[in-house]
Amino acid sequence: MADLKTSAEAFEKKTTKNISDLEEVSVGMELVNKVYKEGTEEQYSIDVLEVGDEDYRVPASVLIQLQALLKDSRMKDLKKIKVLRTGTGLNDTKYSVIPLGVK
């Protein structure tokens, strides 16, 4: 068993990454809804993409933008997207979905 100092030095807070951390995303990837509970907080659910051993959160605003893109007949063959994130914090973060891989 490790002592407190060693444990603190090795500690890494578990966080969920964000879809904007990925270089590009295939629109055919499976979206998974996961339920989380941290400490005494109530449980909450988020949509994530599972890439390797990591979960990447997909905000609802990204799904809304992708839905709008897919309604455009020129985007029916859309294969990949890039998601850009600007701002910080709950109220200032904005996402932009950039289409890639359209034939």
Mean pLDDT rounded to a whole number for the chain: 88
Backbone angles phi, psi at 70, to 5 degrees: -70, -20
| Residue range 49-64, pLDDT digits in tens | 999 988 999 999 999 9
Structure confidence at residue 16 (pLDDT) = 77
Q: DSSP code of 19? A: G
CA pair distance 15, 8, nearest whole angstrom: 17
- As a whole number of angstroms, the distance between CA 38 and CA 51 comes to 22
Q: When comparing pLDDT for 13 and 43, which is higher?
A: 43
Q: What is the pLDDT of residues 66-94, one digit of tens each?
A: 999 999 988 888 999 999 999 887 788 99
Say what the pLDDT of residue 1 is: 66
User: In angstroms, rounded to a whole number, what is the distance separating the alpha carbons of residues 34 and 37?
Assistant: 10
